[in-house]
Amino acid sequence: METAIKVENLSKKYRIGERLPYKTIREEIIKFFKREKKKNQQFIWALKNLSFEIKRGEVVGIIGPNGAGKTTLLKILSRITEPTDGYAEVYGRVGSLLEVGIGFHPELTGRENIYLNGAILGMKKKEIDKKFDEIVSFAELEKFLDTPVKYYSSGMYVRLAFSVAAHFEPDILLVDEVLAVGDISFQKKCLGKMETLTKEARTVLFVSHNMGAIESLCTKCIWLDKGKIVKISEDISKLIKEYVSSFFRNETSFQKKLKNEFFEVLSFNLIEKKDKPTIPVYLKNEDIGIEIELNVFEKNPRLSIGYALYENKSNVCLWWSFHVDVEPYILPCGNIILKTFIPSGLLNDGEYRIEMLAGIDGVGWILPPGNNQMVLKFIVKGGKIGSSMLSATKRPTLLFPALKWNFFKK
């Protein structure tokens, strides 16, 4: 396949405290007073020795914590800034949507900026004319076409910028997190438009903190941290899990032991469908498995083993579940394994906690709710529950069940 982007030993050094592209009087005054102290300049490597290649038609997600270098990388690819070292070769017409403020002239109207951008991309007036209405209606800015863009709100600005970038048939589309500025309905529209572009075999580089969008749109993912590539992979969901769990690693334990007069817990694990202990991060469309291995000392028809599930931040208990809830089952003596699954398409993006429960029915708890001896934590993040992009984002609700709707025409 053809190469779309080739990056070789790319590095970018910034001076900390360097002047920002937009200076105001206020900034200038502050700078004036700080002048004497400025001797001790410090540098930061926003990118350090990046090498990778992207083929035409690939949709590449770029993830990483704040300050990882994601925007810097896109700025170099779109020639907004120069690398300090190394090089980036970009083949084809680039449409980019980076920070609010780049690419448009503030004094010009929306209409004029559309023509200006088209011209910069090397398009003829006729070609721009042909796309014009589509751009305007996608951006929903008909009423503000003849207003200078300096009067646009940041949301309006992003709508126009995305629409321009996506409709001028770029070979390569670079999109930064800016989508987050738009409202939810416009974000969805943009994700949908990007999905269409990806189907037309255009190359897309997409920076996002929305793991659902990354998971459902991208064919490859680059994880950046502190200016370096942590990992590049085409196994997007695995990469997302590793990335997400890198923030939580210390809070999770897979193996715990506990002994009482009724039983001994040999292990208390989160598992995947394949039965393997897993990185404790699940996509919305994955079942979450819980496995308890016990050594039971005495056969007791009233012994119930279960768990309580909490949303960890709010500490709201979502439910209790016991091994006898659906069918009575008397645990035999000796080594046994109990396994149960929280079905996919039920929990929202979030952090959850599972406490093991145990009790003798009608007598009392052995492991009551609120115990902190047997606790597992996991995260649900990313993934979508259906084919729609609507299900890829987090909702401001406790649960996010995948419920089917039917409709009948009367």
Ligand X SMILES: Nc1ncnc2c1ncn2[C@@H]1O[C@H](COP(=O)(O)OP(=O)(O)OP(=O)(O)O)[C@@H](O)[C@H]1O
Chain contacts with ligand X (rule: CB under 6 A):
14, 16, 18, 44, 46, 64, 66-72, 177
Q: Is 198 in the site for Mg ion (CB under 5 A)?
A: no
How far apart CA 240 and CA 218 sit, in angstroms, is 11
**Smallest gap, in angstroms, from Cβ of residue 113 to ligand X?**
24
* Cα dist from 342 to 88, 154, 266, 285, whole Å: 46, 41, 22, 11
Residue nearest to Mg ion (CB): 71
Chain centroid to Cα 295, Å, comes to 41
Instruction: Give the one entry of ligand X, Mg ion, none that residue 188 binds, where binding means its C-beta sits below a cut-off of 5 to 8 angstroms depending on kind.
Output: none
Q: 21-35 as b/e, with b when 16 or more CB fall inside 10 Å?
A: eeeeeeeeeeeeeee
Q: Which stretch in 62-70, 83-91, 119-127, 380-388 sits in contact with Mg ion by CB under 5 A?
A: 62-70
Determine phi and psi for 248, rounding to 5 degrees: -120, 0
The strand ranges marked E within 148-195 are 172-175
Q: CB under 5 to 8 A by kind: which of ligand X, Mg ion, none does 68 bind?
A: ligand X
| Biggest alpha carbon–alpha carbon distance for the chain | 85
Size of the site for Mg ion (CB under 5 A): 2
Q: Give the residue with the Cβ less far from ligand X, 177 or 349.
A: 177
Output 1 or 16, the one with its CB closest to ligand X: 16
Q: What is the spatial distance between Cα 94 and Cα 69, in angstroms, rounded to a whole number? A: 20
Between residues 70 and 284, which has the closer beta carbon with respect to ligand X? Answer: 70
In the complex, minimum distance from the CB of residue 148 to ligand X, in angstroms, rounded to a whole number = 26
Least distance (Å) between residue 175 CB and ligand X: 12
Q: What is the dihedral of CA 188, 401, 244, 192, to 10 degrees?
A: -20
Q: Which two tokens stand for residue 34?
A: 């700080």
Residue 245 found at the interface with Mg ion (CB under 5 A): no
229 or 270, CB closer to Mg ion?
A: 229
Whole-angstrom distance, CA of residue 273 vs CA of residue 370 = 28
Tell me: does residue 71 bind Mg ion (CB under 5 A): yes
Q: How far is the CB of 19 from ligand X (least distance, A)?
A: 8
- Of the candidate spans 26-34, 36-44, 68-76, 359-367, the one that interacts with Mg ion by CB under 5 A turns out to be 68-76
Half-sphere exposure of 322 (CA within 13 A, CB side): 20
Of the candidates 77, 74, 95, the one whose C-alpha atom is nearest the C-alpha of residue 87 is 77
Question: According to the binding rule CB under 5 A, does residue 208 interact with Mg ion?
Answer: no
Tell me the residue length of the chain: 410
Sign of the alpha-carbon dihedral angle for 177, 103, 170, 229: negative
Shortest Cβ distance from residue 179 to ligand X (Å)? 12
Query: To the nearest whole angstrom, how small is the minimum distance from the Cβ of residue 383 to ligand X?
Result: 21
- 372 touches which of ligand X, Mg ion, none (CB within 5 to 8 A by kind)? none
Residue 382 touches which of Mg ion, ligand X, none (Cβ within 5-8 Å per kind)? none
The answer to whether the CB of 190 falls within 8 A of the CB of 182 is yes
How far apart are CB 17 and ligand X at their closest, in Å?
A: 7
Nearer CB in complex with Mg ion: 63/166: 63
83 interacts with, out of ligand X, Mg ion, none, CB within 5 to 8 A per kind: none
In the bound state with ligand X, the residue whose beta carbon lies nearer, of 209 and 299, is 209
- Report, in this order, helix, strand and coil percent for the chain, each rounded to 5: 30, 35, 40
Closer residue to Mg ion in complex, CB, 100/360: 100
The Cα-based distances of 178 to 3, 99, 346 in angstroms read 26, 6, 29
Least distance to Mg ion from the beta carbon of 68, Å? 8
Binding site for Mg ion (CB under 5 A): 70-71
